[in-house]
């Protein structure tokens, strides 16, 4: 297994790292404070080709593979966890649904503006009563002539209030269980009956709006359906499997940020006449933080490698996301501990890393659900 990046992949990652240091890090605390969508940053990402990283150039993408894309997403998340979610939901969820299951016309019409960074995408799967239990969803898309009438609501939709394209999952056959779910393209600015009910006030992940969406008698023509009727559940699972690689990347980026901050602080802060970094207790914390972050990165690239080679990767993507998300929270926690009382204040970014890290254990499969996924694969 060789996961070393090629020269081109390294150049892209370095370009993104420089962009993050120059443009994201200086305003990350402000994004956290205001919780406003960073339109200007996202526009810059579009200009750099970073809003369509893994998609082919013919659809406006940058044609990056699944080592370079997560490596770049890791860098963006090192700067801002909210930005990491914005890009992950836009590319890995909304964009990948269109790329994998859209027909040519749908890709051209809806994927290309997303990949070029002209529009924002969102993925509407979860509902108030249907989080881990996806088939419990109650949103329906009833046949009506050549189209569908959609009624219901979605909760927790990242980018939901700013998206021009929402990939929506709804039941087209209530009696068919998993096989009764279909996916559709919703265009909030065009489709009557679509409303944004509000956005959540969250612990972290600021800058990425997490929206509640409502659909009241919203008509969608048949051309908006992705794939066949009844394919939605399988499409969602396939998309989330790939998405977990990028949530691992977001986790690793946040862990790296916490580690970097802790290393720096441990060299500067003196107690008992010496930098705290010279105490063995602190050295061991830093060593563990680095080891866990590296291990998570290897798991991520292993899952990415399998995905690219067309091998089964459900277990490996779940493991990468599970491990990376848990160590991300642990590493951020130690980041605060190493900063002592200062780490518990807004004077240093480590408290933000801790708040941002926690989310990784919840979305795109909670840690409990991922453990089920992994264990089920062991006994298959």
Ligand X SMILES: Cc1cc2nc3c(=O)[nH]c(=O)nc-3n(C[C@H](O)[C@H](O)[C@H](O)COP(=O)(O)OP(=O)(O)OC[C@H]3O[C@@H](n4cnc5c(N)ncnc54)[C@H](O)[C@@H]3O)c2cc1C
**Sites of contact with ligand X (CB under 6 A):** 89, 123-126, 131-132, 156-158, 202, 205, 210, 359, 362-364, 366, 368-369, 372
Q: Which residues does residue 214 pair with via DSSP β-bridges, in sequence order?
A: 153, 195
Query: Which residue, 13 or 158, is less far from ligand X as judged by CB?
Result: 158
Q: Are 62 and 205 in contact (CB under 8 A)?
A: no
Q: Nearest distance from residue 286's CB to ligand X, in Å?
A: 30
Give the CB-nearest residue to ligand X.
Answer: 131
Q: Nearest distance from residue 18's CB to ligand X, in Å?
A: 28
Query: Which residue, 210 or 325, is less far from ligand X as judged by CB?
Result: 210
How distant is the alpha carbon of residue 231 from its chain centre?
Answer: 23
Cα separations in angstroms, 201 against 2, 94, 248, 254, 361: 42, 23, 24, 21, 18
Q: Quote the CA–CA distance of 155 and 230 in Å, as a whole number.
A: 22
Query: Which residue, 126 or 266, is less far from ligand X as judged by CB?
Result: 126
Query: Which residue, 266 or 319, is less far from ligand X as judged by CB?
Result: 319
Cα separations in angstroms, 85 against 93, 140, 222, 331, 363: 10, 27, 30, 19, 10
Find the catalytic residue in 138, 270, 364, 380: 364
First to last CA, the chain: 25
137, HSE (Cβ side, Cα atoms, 13 Å): 34
Q: Nearest distance from residue 158's CB to ligand X, in Å?
A: 3
Q: Is 222 designated active site?
A: no
Q: Are 44 and 114 in contact (CB under 8 A)?
A: no
Element (H, E) at 319: helix 314-339
Q: Nearest distance from residue 200's CB to ligand X, in Å?
A: 7
Q: Nearest distance from residue 326's CB to ligand X, in Å?
A: 13
Query: Which residue, 127 or 305, is less far from ligand X as judged by CB?
Result: 127
Alpha-carbon torsion, ordered 21, 24, 29, 34, to 10 deg: 170
* Catalytic residue list: 364
């Amino acid at each position: 297994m060789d996961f070393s990046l090629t020269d081109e992949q390294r150049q892209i990652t370095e370009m993104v790292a420089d962009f993050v240091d120059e443009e994201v890090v200086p305003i990350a605390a402000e994004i956290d404070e205001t919780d406003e969508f960073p339109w200007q940053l996202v526009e810059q990402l579009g200009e750099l080709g970073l809003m369509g990283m893994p998609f082919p150039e013919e659809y406006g993408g940058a044609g990056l593979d699944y080592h370079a894309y997560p490596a770049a997403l890791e860098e963006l998340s090192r700067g801002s966890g909210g930005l990491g979610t914005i890009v992950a939901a836009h590319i890995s969820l909304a964009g990948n649904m269109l790329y994998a299951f859209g027909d040519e016309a749908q890709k051209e019409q809806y994927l290309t503006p997303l990949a070029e960074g002209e529009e924002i995408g969102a993925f509407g799967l979860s509902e108030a009563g249907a989080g881990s239990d996806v088939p419990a969803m109650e949103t329906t898309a009833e046949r009506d002539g050549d189209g569908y009438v959609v009624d219901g609501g979605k909760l927790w939709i990242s980018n939901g209030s700013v998206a021009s394209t929402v990939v929506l999952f709804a039941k087209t056959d209530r009696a068919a269980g998993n096989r009764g779910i279909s996916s559709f393209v919703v265009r909030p600015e065009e489709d009557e009956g679509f409303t944004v009910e509000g956005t959540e006030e969250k612990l972290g992940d600021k800058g990425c709006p997490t929206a509640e969406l409502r659909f009241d008698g919203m008509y969608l023509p048949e051309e908006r359906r992705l794939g066949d009727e009844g394919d939605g559940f399988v499409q969602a699972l396939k998309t989330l499997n790939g998405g977990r690689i990028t949530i691992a990347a977001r986790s690793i980026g946040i862990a790296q940020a916490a580690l970097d901050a802790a290393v720096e602080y441990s060299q500067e802060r003196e107690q008992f006449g010496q930098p705290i970094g010279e105490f063995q207790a602190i050295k061991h914390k830093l060593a563990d933080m680095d080891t866990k972050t590296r291990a998570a990165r290897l798991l991520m690239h292993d899952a990415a490698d399998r995905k690219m080679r067309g091998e089964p990767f459900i277990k490996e993507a779940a493991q990468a996301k599970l491990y990376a998300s848990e160590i991300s929270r642990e590493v951020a926690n130690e980041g605060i501990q190493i900063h002592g009382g200062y780490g518990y204040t807004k004077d240093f970014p480590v408290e933000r890393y801790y708040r941002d890290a926690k989310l990784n254990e919840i979305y795109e499969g909670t840690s409990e659900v991922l453990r089920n996924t992994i264990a089920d694969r062991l006994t298959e």
